[in-house]
């Protein structure tokens, strides 16, 4: 099982160094004022032009699309019939 999990990570996860998105630190901190320690996630989402999957309401309204598990599950159910 561990080998399968590690293979899935190697196949589907792309690591990014902080150096690739640190230029967005100030903007990201402004976008998430309730928890500026989460700036990394916002900056990477801006950099990659991707949504954030989170249950943390601090991200809501940060200017990046956000998805909760409930909204993802509802979307999957609609798409899969």
- pLDDT averaged over every residue in the chain: 96
Please report the pLDDT score of residue 16 as a whole number.
95
Tokens representing residue 75 in the block: 């979307």
Three-state DSSP class for residue 66? strand
Residue 50 pLDDT exceeds 80: yes
Please report the pLDDT score of residue 55 as a whole number.
96
User: Stretch 37-62: mean pLDDT, rounded?
Assistant: 97
pTM of the model: 0.83
Distance of CA 55 to the CA centre of its chain: 11
Distance (Å, whole) CA 76 – CA 50: 18
Q: Is 59 buried (19+), middle (13-18) or exposed (0-12) by CB count in 10 A?
A: buried
CB proximity list for 56: less than 8 A, separation 6 or greater: 35, 38
pLDDT for 18-49, tens place per residue?
999 999 999 999 999 999 999 999 999 999 99
Residue 81 pLDDT exceeds 90: no
């Amino acid at each position: 099982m561990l080998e399968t999990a590690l293979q899935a990570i190697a196949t589907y996860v792309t690591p990014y160094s902080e150096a690739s998105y640190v230029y967005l630190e100030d903007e990201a901190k402004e976008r998430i004022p309730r928890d500026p320690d989460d700036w990394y996630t916002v900056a990477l989402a801006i950099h990659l032009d991707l949504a954030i999957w989170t249950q943390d309401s601090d991200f809501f309204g940060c200017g990046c699309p956000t998805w909760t598990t409930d909204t993802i599950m509802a979307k999957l159910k609609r798409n899969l019939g």
